[in-house]
Amino acid sequence: VGFENFRILLSDAKVLKALGNTAFFTFLGVPVRLILALILALALNVELRGRTVYRTIFYLPTVTPAVASAVVWMQIFHTEFGILNNFLKVFGVPAIKWLWDPQVAKPAFILMTCWTIGGPMIIFLAGLQGVPVTLHEAARIDGAGRWKRFLNITMPMMSPVVFFNLVMGIIGSFQVFTAAYVMTGGGPQDATLFLVLYVYRNGFEYFKMGYAALLAWVLCLIIVFFTLIQFRMGSRWVYYEAA
């Protein structure tokens, strides 16, 4: 077909919609997930009775099958019988149409991804345990408070771990598919039509395999572009002790 698929791509309004939805989900959801994962890792890094059990509990959702998680969250987000709306009702908050309101659907998906922060949490936890205790002791002797030690010792030593989680988080978020396919099918009003879901639709529902392949290449180039930007900017703030 020559360049016909490229012409269709440039005039396809749903591509822009899918890119916008994916960008919203990625650039808002990834920072939220990483911040929560870091806070949780800091909490589980202190001496605490049964902390191994807590670590296991918070990590378990990560290994739960994606389809099973999506089905559970469909029940949680249910407008009338959902646990979340029943909980909010206690505080006088009216029922929210989580998956049926175009304005709320994407934030609902971001809230759902916080369920699986166990993966980056474990990596953050490993990084925290690699921070030398002697540095904290020396800073404490010099009068540095907990916040200053966190900013000037913990975070610089943790920067390679933060960088890894950031890169992997953005790559994974650009490929969001299962939850949208199972829970909303891209609705309502294409509010959760993410790019991979649109690739799937074109390839396996509309049987436009050539156009679907082009969209997949576009996604690949976008991921490579943002990954290269992160590596370029990472040299300015990532600290490697060996270097």
Mind listing the pLDDT tens digit for each residue in 50-65? Answer: 888 999 999 999 999 9
Give the pLDDT confidence score for residue 180 in this predicted structure: 95
pLDDT at 6 over 90: yes
> How far from the centroid of its chain's Cα atoms is residue 179's Cα?
13
Over residues 95-130, the pLDDT tens digits come to 999 999 999 999 999 999 999 999 999 999 999 998
pLDDT over 90, % of the chain = 89
Output the average pLDDT for the chain.
94
Amino acid at 240: Y
- At residue 31, the pLDDT reads 96
Report CA torsion sign: 43, 44, 49, 54: positive
Nearest CA among 23, 18, 1, 21 for reference residue 215: 18
Are the C-beta atoms of 136 and 153 separated by less than 8 Å? yes
Spacing of C-alpha 220 from chain mean position: 18
Evaluate whether 125 touches 117 at the Cβ level (below 8 Å).
no
Q: How confident is the model at residue 46 (pLDDT cuts 50, 70, 90)?
A: confident
For every residue of 24-38, DSSP letters joined together read HHHHHHHHHHHHHHH
Packing angle of the helix pair 13-43, 155-174 (nearest 10 deg): 150
- Tracing tokens 């404490």 back to the chain, one arrives at 140
pLDDT band at residue 205, thresholds of 50, 70 and 90? very high
**Tell me, what's the pLDDT at 49?**
85
Amino acid 241: pLDDT:
74
Residue 243: its pLDDT value, please?
59
**Of the candidates 62, 50, 72, 163, the residue with the CA atom closest to the CA atom of residue 121:** 62
Higher pLDDT, 24 or 48: 24
**pLDDT tens per residue across span 169-187:** 999 999 999 999 999 999 9
| Residues 10-42 as b or e (16 or more Cβ within 10 Å = b) | eebeebebbbebbebbbeebbeebbeebbebbe
Contacts of 55 (CB under 8 A, 6+ apart): 44, 122, 125
